[in-house]
Chain A
Amino acid sequence: MQLLAVALLALLLSGCGSWGWGRRSAGPVGWGSADRQDPALSGNGRVLASVVRRDGRDTVLLQEQPSGTVLPLRHLQRQQPHRSPSLSWNGRYLALLVQEGPDRRVVIEDRATGRLHRLPLPGGLVPNSLSLAPDGRRLAIASEGEGRSRVQLYDLTALLEPDLPAGLPVRGTPGAPP
């Protein structure tokens, strides 16, 4: 009986077309080009990070949702191109790839303290993309090096406070004090 119910539900889901999918655009970029790439949502969905072209350089843009209000970033006005943003649960931490001279680096901006964490990678590895766990405790980095692509995990517990669903809102996010 239970199997039949699961099979029926699966059948309904596969056949229901666009029914039930609420959709909206992430809204206008507001800077030069309207191209927007590399989206990432905070765990609670209140912050959207994406990469937009600003003054000819790929730059991370942080916006609260659904208003689209641009949120300030202290350290990320330079070091473009920015790639692969990833957010923690309340949007306190923004991890991404930046360019420092010839090197692509992994950094995490803590929006609560304004601190920028630089994460060194073993020599010879070039990071391509990353994913920050919503609680901020782990980071997955995809990189190229020594002739192959690989994904490696890092423990961040000694570096970052957890950003949990019950955590305090970060200044500049919806519900935070002014």
Chain B
Amino acid sequence: MQGAAVAVTAVLPVLLAGCLGPLPQPLVGLNQRLEAAGPARGPSLAGDWLALIVSQGGRDRVQLVDLQRQQPVPLPGLERPDAQPLSVAVDGRGERLALVRQLEGRTELVLYRRNLMALQPVPLQPPGVPRRVALRADGRELAVEVSRQGQWQVDLIAVP
């Protein structure tokens, strides 16, 4: 009887694994580094790049992580201490980041080009309040959720 119980216990995980199929595997090393960086939200994954919003020292900031090197990369010209990032998206080369942020009482959509270290405002026409942004993996187009007169809309904007 005891032998049967042992046999069932041994076979059960195999049977369950067969029923469930392959499972996603957590990337343990990367996850530990992300955990150590602080509370985080709003991930955007493309190619070997992860953009996310991390809380550090009581304020939220955009972080871009090179997944090959498992290290954040600097984003000179992107951060302002008085800006509050709301949503971020990265392209597959890690070159372009689209960002919705609150600054000086208004919410704006901007595009950051890492090779130029330059931030470019993306005007909304007609005007509206942006909230969430997504970027095509090739970086050629972004999709942004915009509030206009109490209604949520999605604008598709080609990136020059």
Our verdict on whether A and B bind, yes or no, reads: yes
A132 pairs with B45, CB closer than 8 A:
yes
B134 pairs with A142, CB closer than 8 A:
no
B21 part of interface (Cβ distance < 8 Å): yes
A45 part of interface (Cβ distance < 8 Å): yes
Nearest residue (CB) in B for A131 is B45
Interface size on A, residues (CB 8 A): 58
B24 pairs with A139, CB closer than 8 A:
yes
B143 pairs with A159, CB closer than 8 A:
no
Chain A residues positioned under 8 Å from B52 (CB to CB)? 140, 142, 151
B34 pairs with A22, CB closer than 8 A:
no
B56 part of interface (Cβ distance < 8 Å): no
Given known contacts A22-B157, A39-B145, A149-B41, A45 and B138 CB-to-CB distance under 8 angstroms: yes
Chain B contact residues, majority secondary structure: strand
Q: Kindly provide the distance from the CB of A24 to the nearest chain B CB, expressed in whole angstroms.
A: 5
Interface size on B, residues (CB 8 A): 57
B154 pairs with A148, CB closer than 8 A:
no
A25 to B128, alpha carbons, bound, how many Å?
Answer: 13
Chain A residues positioned under 8 Å from B92 (CB to CB)? 43, 134
A132 to B29, alpha carbons, bound, how many Å?
Answer: 19
Chain A residues positioned under 8 Å from B141 (CB to CB)? 41, 45
A153 pairs with B50, CB closer than 8 A:
yes
B42 part of interface (Cβ distance < 8 Å): yes
A120 part of interface (Cβ distance < 8 Å): yes
Q: Kindly provide the distance from the CB of B98 to the nearest chain A CB, expressed in whole angstroms.
A: 11
Given known contacts A36-B153, A44-B138, A153 and B23 CB-to-CB distance under 8 angstroms: no
Q: Kindly provide the distance from the CB of A87 to the nearest chain B CB, expressed in whole angstroms.
A: 9
Given known contacts A37-B152, A159-B23, A140 and B134 CB-to-CB distance under 8 angstroms: no
B25 part of interface (Cβ distance < 8 Å): yes
B140 pairs with A133, CB closer than 8 A:
no
A150 pairs with B39, CB closer than 8 A:
yes
Binding site for B on A (CB under 8 A): 6, 9-10, 13-14, 16-26, 34-45, 48, 50, 65, 89, 119-120, 128-135, 138-142, 148-156, 158-159
Binding site for A on B (CB under 8 A): 21-27, 30-31, 34-35, 39-47, 50, 52, 67, 92, 113, 116-123, 125, 131-132, 134-138, 140-145, 151-160
- The 9 closest A-B CB pairs, nearest first, are A20-B160, A43-B137, A22-B158, A10-B118, A39-B143, A140-B43, A158-B22, A154-B24, A26-B154
Q: 16 A–B contact pairs at CB < 8 A?
A: A6-B116, A13-B113, A18-B125, A25-B155, A36-B153, A39-B143, A40-B143, A44-B136, A89-B137, A130-B43, A134-B137, A151-B43, A152-B31, A154-B27, A155-B25, A155-B27
